Structure 1
Amino acid sequence: MRGGEVVVADRWFASSKTCSCCGQVRESLPLAVRTWTCPDCQARHDRDGNAAINLKHYAVSSTVSACGGEGAGPGGNARVKPAPSKQEVSKKLPMGSFG
């Protein structure tokens, strides 16, 4: 992957317990509960699918914006490090051609 970034979510980020539709966070959600309904917006969630959506939103909101500012979402303090990329010269220019 060229130019990508790795975003590390906080260990205690409540990705499964947060409604991906309205943001309501449940106080508890036992691991055995695989589907649940948000008490605020009535959206029905698959636990893993909901967590994946929340983690995607976390990653998008925590990366640097096009203007160079920090993201505005809940992951604003996330650790972001660029993926390694190899820079290669596509063609050689003759010496003295730089003006």
Structure 2
Amino acid sequence: RKLARAIADMGFHELRRQLDYKTALRGGRVVVADRWYPSSKLCSYCGYKLDTMVLGTRQWSCPGCSTLHDRDVNAAINLKKVAVSSTVAACGGEGAGPARERRVKPAPMKQESNSRQL
């Protein structure tokens, strides 16, 4: 069981490494939500947080505002809010949010000389 988890984690590690690298090449950045951020069980409309939610629950109704949520769509909306809240605001101030930013330098590339030999 531990071996299977290690193999699965390695796959995600490589995906994350590539995502960081490719994003940095294009001048972007990757925002990483905390591993335990409750993206699925946090109402994206009113902010109500469910205490528990089993993995098999695909839809749920918020007790706070009665909004019906699809689990995955709600999580995507919440994660988008995390990413937006951690970006620089239009007036120049830093946003605040439950995420950490990872800056990555692109790998150095070997440069060819411009001199021609005649």
Which whole-Å CA distance do the structure 2 matches of 1:10 and 1:33 have between them? Answer: 22
Tell me the CA shift for residue 58 of structure 1: 0.6
Matched residue, 1:57: 81
TM-score under structure 2 normalisation? 0.62
Whether 1:26 aligns to 2:50 is yes
Counterpart amino acid of 2:68? R
**The residue matched to 2:85 in structure 1 has which SS?**
helix
Whether the aligned pair in 1 keeps the contact of 2:32 and 2:102 (CA below 8 Å) is no
TM-score under structure 1 normalisation? 0.72
1:3–1:83 distance in 2 versus 1, CA, 3 Å? farther
Which whole-Å CA distance do the structure 1 matches of 2:103 and 2:90 have between them? Answer: 15
Matched residue, 2:66: 42
Which whole-Å CA distance do the structure 2 matches of 1:27 and 1:3 have between them? Answer: 39
Whose RCO is larger (CA < 8 A, sep 6+)? 1
Structure 1, unaligned runs of 5 or more: 86-99
Equivalences, count: 82
Structure 2, unaligned runs of 5 or more: 1-22, 107-118
Identical positions, percent? 60
**The residue matched to 1:32 in structure 2 has which SS?**
coil
Q: Please, what is the CA RMSD of the aligned residues?
A: 1.8
1:66–1:3 distance in 2 versus 1, CA, 3 Å? farther
Matched residue, 1:80: 101
The structure with the largest helix share of the pair is: 2
Q: Report Cα offsets for 1:49-71 as digits up to 9, x if no partner.
A: 10000000010001222344221
